[in-house]
Amino acid sequence: MSDLYFNIESGYLEGLVRGFKSGILKHTEYLNLVQCETLEDLKLHLQSTDYGNFLANEPSPLTVSVIDDKLREKLVIEFRHLRNHSVEPLSTFLDFITYSYMIDNIILLITGTLHQRPISELISKCNPLGSFDQMEAIHIASTPAELYNAVLVDTPLAPFFVDCISEQDLDELNIEIIRNTLYKAYLEDFYKFCEKTGGTTADVMCDILAFEADRRAFIITINSFGTELTKEDRSKLYPRCGKLYPDGLAALAKADDYEQVKIIAEHYAEYRALFEGSGNNPGEKTLEDKFFEHEVKLNVNAFLQQFHFGVFYAYVKLKEQECRNIVWISECVAQHHRAKIDNYIPIL
Amino acid sequence: MGSLFRCEEMTLCQLFLQSEAAYACVSELGELGLVQFRDLNPDVNSFQRKFVNEVRRCDEMERKLRFLEKEIKKDGIPMLDIGDNPEAPQPREMIDLEATFEKLENELKEVNTNAEALKKTYLELTELKHILRKTQAFFDEAEFHHAQMHDPSMQEESVTLLGEEGLRAGGQALKLGFVAGVVLRERLPSFERMLWRVCRGNVFLRQAEIDTPLEDPVSGDQVNKCVFIVFFQGEQLKSRVKKICEGFRATLYPCPETPADRREMSIGVMTRIEDLNTVLGQTTDHRHRVLVAAAKNIKNWFVKVRKIKAIYHTLNLFNLDVTQKCLISECWCAVCDLEKIQMALRRGTERSGSTVPSILNRMDSKETPPTYNRTNKFTRGFQNIVDAYGVASYREVNPAPYTIITFPFLFAVMFGDAGHGLIMALFGLWMVLKEKALSAQKSDNEIWNTFFNGRYIILLMGTFSIYTGLIYNDVFSKSLNIFGSSWNSPAMKELFPSHIQLNPASQYQGVPYPFGIDPVWQVAENKILFMNSYKMKVSVILGVSQMIFGVSLSLINHKYFKHPLNVICEFVPQIIFLLAIFGYLVLLIFAKWVTYDVSDSSCARSLLIMLINMFIFSYPTHPCYLSAMYNGQEGIQAILVILAIVCIPWMLFVKPFILRRQWLNRPHLMSSPKPADGAIDEGEVVHEDGTTRIEAGHEESEEGFNFGDVFIHQAIHTIEYCLGSISHTASYLRLWALSLAHAQLSEVLWTMVMKIGFVVPTWPGGIILYLIFAFWAGLTIGVLLIMEGLSAFLHALRLHWVEFQSKFYGGTGYMFSPFSFETILELASTEDK
């Protein structure tokens, strides 16, 4: 029944986002980009793609950071357009997408102030998708409780933060814990929201979010080896909306080294494939890249169905991946370091 | 003239250009706009081509120009567009241009940074001025409270109470610290909330709005700001407050504590603002001068840079020969333009000062050339109508010249009203007469441009509508009685009878009305019956004639392409099929009109039923309107039906089988001896190999001629044509339907709207009529002219595309798109908008 009304409310935006999606660079375009000798070549080539003249008003010489900014700016403009034209429940859905960037921004700012960096320099590094009013005043907080009371209480992230208030100070480890707790709460909440929305949105988004949750669980586990994080604390950071919940997470909580993690992944068909194909040797793809590839696949698959919100999420993520790819290639081109230029994640 | 009937004869040419002359030659060709270059290195990336650096330099120049243009627009300086067309500058001039732009850009950037710095100081000073002014009020208030507190006349208790408290706090209780600053108005609420939260309510904030919006020095936008002053106590709070202010991008200013200092400072600020104003004025003047100078030339520069860029883009399509001495290009051009192109090349070579001439060679090519129809402003619209359906295949009959007449005519048949036609024709005429002035305006309104581009079509449609309107005797749904009706008025019982039934037996005078329909029908009750019968028959006659004409055009095509087989197997059966059924019907229509009059009208033959009976070979003798019209009708109809039926297998089978026989009987030169040779040379061992080779050869022959494909293709064509000629005839009835609808609609509009204005007697009637007329005229223009006109236009379009062109038009060609500066510049200027 909701499908009937979908086009009235979000049909225009869905059409728009599908149009945007068709502008995502194809394999052949990557092949051409990789051949570029200089960033000017890259600019010339991007002109023939959907990016068009987005670099036309930039004076030479071009730098990677300018390209990065412009790429991001384009995505932000597109996303804001979508957000401004959306109605409930799509607008909440789109807001949820921005929350993850808000979390990243907060963490970036706290870490930055911890290292005594000037706030203006940090602000320019923040993702504009996740900016909010009180963001720039974040450096007044020296404890999580202050952070919550002064800054976050007015933001939509407040409910996610409730679990972190007990932490004592803001040091490196605690910031990491805060980040992961926030993320966990965010993912679980987003998952619930998608479930509540129901229909195809739930089908598509729950799959993507479950993978996201599991990926975080794996990575947290692997990164925690050799740090002072206790197993008990670690298990608190696992998002509980993935396919690993509850058995896999319980097993992960007990894992002591990479091999054990791999054995746990064996029980899940899709993750087994990812772990098997990965490695750190030259010629092999890292586990992280494997995860990215899988994410891209899920996101591309989201476009196979109609009348759901998953396409908006998938589009933002795919575009983000594309920006990473282009920046990677431009870095390789700029530094004349062509050996690893093929290590981008192709978007199918 | 010949090119109107079919497209220009094109040829593929090879151009050999000396590397030093290439630029000038291409520039000349671009001015000419008669040559379409082919990309000779399609698999080379855009950034690996030869002249990529020059293209990049042009891009850079364009960027600088865009920057200049943006600045000019920001200052609202008019840009001079004299519409002149400077020639593409020489490559060496490019460096001068680059230098000029570079200089301008740098100058402008410097001025901008200066202006920005000045504006920033100015902004700071203005903000300070506002702070001083607003805080004065706060301090005054504070003084007042202060005074109250220390008022000696106050009651003893309160003084001691306060005094004691103050003493306990170390004597500094009343000495509050404060910070004053300015913050964006929209950020104030969250700023205030955050202050309160972080300082736990231990600060006191006062704020006042600055009434005049201030200019942001970086973006130049107008922003609204607020002055605030925060009172607090102690160093810790001070640092927190300062951090928050920083977080909210509030600018803090030092504010003296004593009123005297404040007054002094504010005087200082005022003088500095005045000084700054003069400096700022000079800076803007300088900037203005620079921009005005640039604005004079900027359009010219744009044209130049775009031309250079286009030339280098074209040069990138060329091939370099082995010696690197010359560039080779391939291009399509019309045969009759070769002379002009040669001339242009010679001019180009001369201009570059090269001694070796550029060479233009005609080449033979198997490729289908592009279709190039030369048009003028009159034929362009009609050619566009045809091209919108499909670009004609190379050298096939171009329906555009016939469309010039048939299109407005069929439109007019549906839009038959002389009054509406007159308005439309006048509108078209106005656009045609004001052509130059209107096209110079270059409107970017899409709807207007559509109308304007079709001005000649509109003019013709209007003129033809006047004609058909006079034939139908319809002027705004009323009739003109010019020659006097040839009907006697019936004996009337009342003065204005509601029904008048015309009876030709008693009222007709015997001599027809000289031109068009007799006006008396306008008031007759049986008008619709009469008009329907007339318009329906006319539609069938027009439709069948247009289809026969279309089929005849296919004969011209077949003859031109030398396909005698198509003449015999397609054209002949097609025309017989059409004539035997519908040609005969048209003949009967004329016969019926001529033979029957009022005395035997009850026996007038029903043509529709006669046509049906013709196919089922049934010939009833009564009632009399179903009996034979003439002697020997049975025989002739039988022959026609059989002829038409014979045509179907004729169209279907003959051509594929003849083609197949031709293929099998073609001279075998290569295929037969080969396996024999192999068998002899290599003996029995390779015998198997030999047979496979024969099979392979056979397969190859099947590739050349696939009987199944040809047959199915022919079958589709046959079915399409036979069913099509029936359904298309029926489709032409839309002529009748739309003309009926148009007439009825305008009549309804008259009776329901305009008539009301006439029925009110004496002077109020005049006022009402005045108002009603506006309403009626609005509806006439909006509904009858525009909406009905669009619908009739669409139907006329369909009749041409489907019913007419399907008889002969392939439409599988591709458009000739010559390299021309004019189109490139036009494209760029539309993109700018």
Kindly provide the ipTM of the predicted complex, given to two decimals. Answer: 0.75
pLDDT of residue B140: 75
- The encoded tokens of residue B154 equal 């106050």
pLDDT of residue B748: 92
Single-letter code of the amino acid located at A160: F
pLDDT of residue A267: 86
**Euclidean distance between CA atoms B317 and B17, whole angstroms:** 13
Main-chain dihedrals φ then ψ at residue B351, nearest 5 degrees: -60, -35
pLDDT in tens, A120-177: 788 888 888 888 877 777 777 777 777 787 778 878 888 888 777 776 667 777 888 8
First-to-final CA distance of chain B: 37
- Which of A73-87 are b and which e, b meaning 16 or more Cβ less than 10 Å from the residue's Cβ? ebbeebbeebbeebe
What SS3 state is found at B364? coil
Q: Select from A136, A142, A143 the residue whose CB has the most chain B CBs within 10 Å, as the one to mutate to test that interface.
A: A136
Say if CB B232 and CB B267 are below 8 A apart: no
pLDDT in tens, B736-773: 999 999 999 999 999 888 888 888 888 888 888 899 99
Q: Please give the average per-residue pLDDT across B35-43, as a whole number.
A: 85
Q: Please give the average per-residue pLDDT across B411-431, as a whole number.
A: 94
Nearest chain B Cα distance for residue A124, angstroms: 13
pLDDT of residue B676: 42
pLDDT of residue B168: 42
- Interface subset of A 18-47, CB within 8 angstroms of B: 32, 35-37, 40-41, 44-45, 47
Nearest chain A Cα distance for residue B258, angstroms: 31
Measured between CB atoms, which of B47, B190, B198 is closest to A44?
B47
A62-76, B258-272, B678-692 — which one is most confidently predicted on average? Answer: A62-76
pLDDT of residue B738: 95
Q: Select from B45, B190, B832 the residue whose CB has the most chain A CBs within 10 Å, as the one to mutate to test that interface.
A: B45
Q: What is the dihedral of CA B689, B693, B699, B702, to 10 degrees?
A: -150
Q: Check A60 against B66: CB less than 8 A apart.
A: no
pLDDT in tens, B386-395: 999 989 888 8
Main-chain dihedrals φ then ψ at residue B416, nearest 5 degrees: -65, 90
Of B87-91, B100-104, B639-643, the range with the lowest mean pLDDT is: B87-91
Say if CB A291 and CB A303 are below 8 A apart: no
If pLDDT is split at 50, 70 and 90, which confidence band does B188 have? confident
Nearest chain A Cα distance for residue B28, angstroms: 27
pLDDT in tens, B520-577: 888 888 888 889 999 999 999 999 999 999 999 999 999 999 988 889 999 999 999 9
- Interface subset of A 112-151, CB within 8 angstroms of B: 119, 133-140, 146, 149-151
Please state whether beta strands B319-320 and B326-334 pair in parallel, antiparallel, or not at all (unpaired). antiparallel
Task: List the single residue in A with minimal CA-CA distance to B189.
Answer: A133
- The encoded tokens of residue B280 equal 């700022």
Measured between CB atoms, which of B63, B67, B248 is closest to A136?
B248
Q: Is A158 on the interface with B (CB under 8 A)?
A: no
Q: Is the pLDDT of residue B76 over 60?
A: yes
Which residues on B lie below 8 Å from A134 (Cβ)? 190, 194, 247
Cα→Cα distances B750→B422, B475, B769, B786, Å: 18, 11, 12, 17
pLDDT of residue A167: 64
Measured between CB atoms, which of B59, B63, B247 is closest to A137?
B247
Which residues on A lie below 8 Å from B249 (Cβ)? 136
Q: Is A153 on the interface with B (CB under 8 A)?
A: yes
pLDDT of residue B680: 41
CA atoms within 13 A on the CB side of B437: 5
If pLDDT is split at 50, 70 and 90, which confidence band does B163 have? very low
Name the nearest CA neighbour of B418 among B475, B472, B464.
Answer: B475
- Interface subset of A 214-233, CB within 8 angstroms of B: none
Q: Check B197 against A60: CB less than 8 A apart.
A: no
Distance of CA B139 to the CA centre of its chain: 66
- Interface subset of A 169-198, CB within 8 angstroms of B: none
pLDDT of residue B707: 85
If pLDDT is split at 50, 70 and 90, which confidence band does B689 have? very low
pLDDT of residue B792: 95
Task: List the single residue in A with minimal CA-CA distance to B244.
Answer: A137
Q: What is the dihedral of CA B806, B810, B814, B815, to 10 degrees?
A: -60
Q: Check B194 against A36: CB less than 8 A apart.
A: no
Measured between CB atoms, which of A41, A57, A140 is closest to B47?
A41
Say if CB B590 and CB B596 are below 8 A apart: no
Of A16-25, B243-252, B508-517, the range with the lowest mean pLDDT is: B243-252
Q: Is the pLDDT of residue B162 over 50?
A: no
Measured between CB atoms, which of B45, B59, B248 is closest to A32?
B45
What SS3 state is found at B508? strand
Opening angle at CA A252, ends A247 and A257, nearest 5: 150
If pLDDT is split at 50, 70 and 90, which confidence band does B320 have? confident
Measured between CB atoms, which of B47, B59, B67 is closest to A45?
B47
Say if CB B772 and CB B514 are below 8 A apart: no
Task: List the single residue in A with minimal CA-CA distance to B242.
Answer: A140
Q: Check B48 against A119: CB less than 8 A apart.
A: no
Which residues on B lie below 8 Å from A57 (Cβ)? 63, 66-67
Nearest chain B Cα distance for residue A204, angstroms: 37
Q: Check A139 against B47: CB less than 8 A apart.
A: no
pLDDT in tens, B123-136: 888 888 888 887 77
pLDDT in tens, A185-235: 999 999 999 998 888 888 889 989 999 999 998 888 888 888 878 888 888
Alpha-carbon radius of gyration of chain B? 44
pLDDT of residue B696: 40
Say if CB B239 and CB B78 are below 8 A apart: no
Of A124-138, A285-299, B783-797, the range with the lowest mean pLDDT is: A124-138
DSSP B782: I
Name the nearest CA neighbour of B87 among B353, B291, B313, B310.
Answer: B310
pLDDT in tens, A246-281: 888 888 888 888 888 888 888 888 888 888 877 777
**Euclidean distance between CA atoms A333 and A341, whole angstroms:** 8
Q: Is the pLDDT of residue B681 over 70?
A: no
**Euclidean distance between CA atoms B47 and B111, whole angstroms:** 35
Reply yes or no: is the peptide bond before residue A61 cis, omega within 30 of 0: yes
CA atoms within 13 A on the CB side of B801: 15
Please state whether beta strands B10-18 and B359-363 pair in parallel, antiparallel, or not at all (unpaired). antiparallel
Q: Please give the average per-residue pLDDT across B646-653, as a whole number.
A: 92
Cα→Cα distances B756→A76, B547, B748, B750, B762, Å: 60, 46, 12, 9, 14
Measured between CB atoms, which of B55, B187, B197 is closest to A133?
B187
pLDDT of residue B358: 82
**Euclidean distance between CA atoms B357 and B350, whole angstroms:** 9
Q: Is the pLDDT of residue B259 over 80?
A: no
**Euclidean distance between CA atoms B763 and B760, whole angstroms:** 8
Q: Check A151 against B194: CB less than 8 A apart.
A: yes
Which residues on B lie below 8 Å from A149 (Cβ)? 197
pLDDT of residue B803: 92
Reply yes or no: is the peptide bond before residue B217 cis, omega within 30 of 0: no
Measured between CB atoms, which of B60, B67, B198 is closest to A150?
B198
Q: Is the pLDDT of residue B672 over 60?
A: no
Nearest chain B Cα distance for residue A93, angstroms: 25
Average pLDDT of chain B to the nearest whole number: 83
pLDDT of residue A95: 92
Q: Check B47 against A36: CB less than 8 A apart.
A: yes
Q: Is the pLDDT of residue A291 over 60?
A: yes
- If you count residue pairs, one on A and one on B, with CB atoms under 8 Å apart, how many are there? 65
Name the nearest CA neighbour of B453 among B467, B464, B468, B442.
Answer: B442
pLDDT of residue B679: 40
Q: Is the pLDDT of residue A83 over 80?
A: yes
Of A322-336, B31-45, B382-396, the range with the lowest mean pLDDT is: B31-45
Which residues on B lie below 8 Å from A140 (Cβ)? 198, 240, 243-244, 247
pLDDT of residue A191: 92
Q: Is the pLDDT of residue B492 over 80?
A: no
Task: List the single residue in A with minimal CA-CA distance to B55.
Answer: A44
pLDDT of residue B682: 41
Q: Checking phi first, is residue B76 left (phi over 0); if not, alpha (psi -120 to 50) or beta?
A: left
Q: Is the pLDDT of residue B455 over 90?
A: yes
Q: Which residue has the higher pLDDT, B494 or B663?
A: B663
Task: List the single residue in A with minimal CA-CA distance to B200.
Answer: A150
Q: At B347, which helix (H) or strand (E)?
A: helix B338-352
pLDDT of residue A257: 84
Alpha-carbon radius of gyration of chain A? 21
Nearest chain B Cα distance for residue A119, angstroms: 8
Q: Is the pLDDT of residue A89 over 70?
A: yes
Q: Check A119 against B247: CB less than 8 A apart.
A: yes
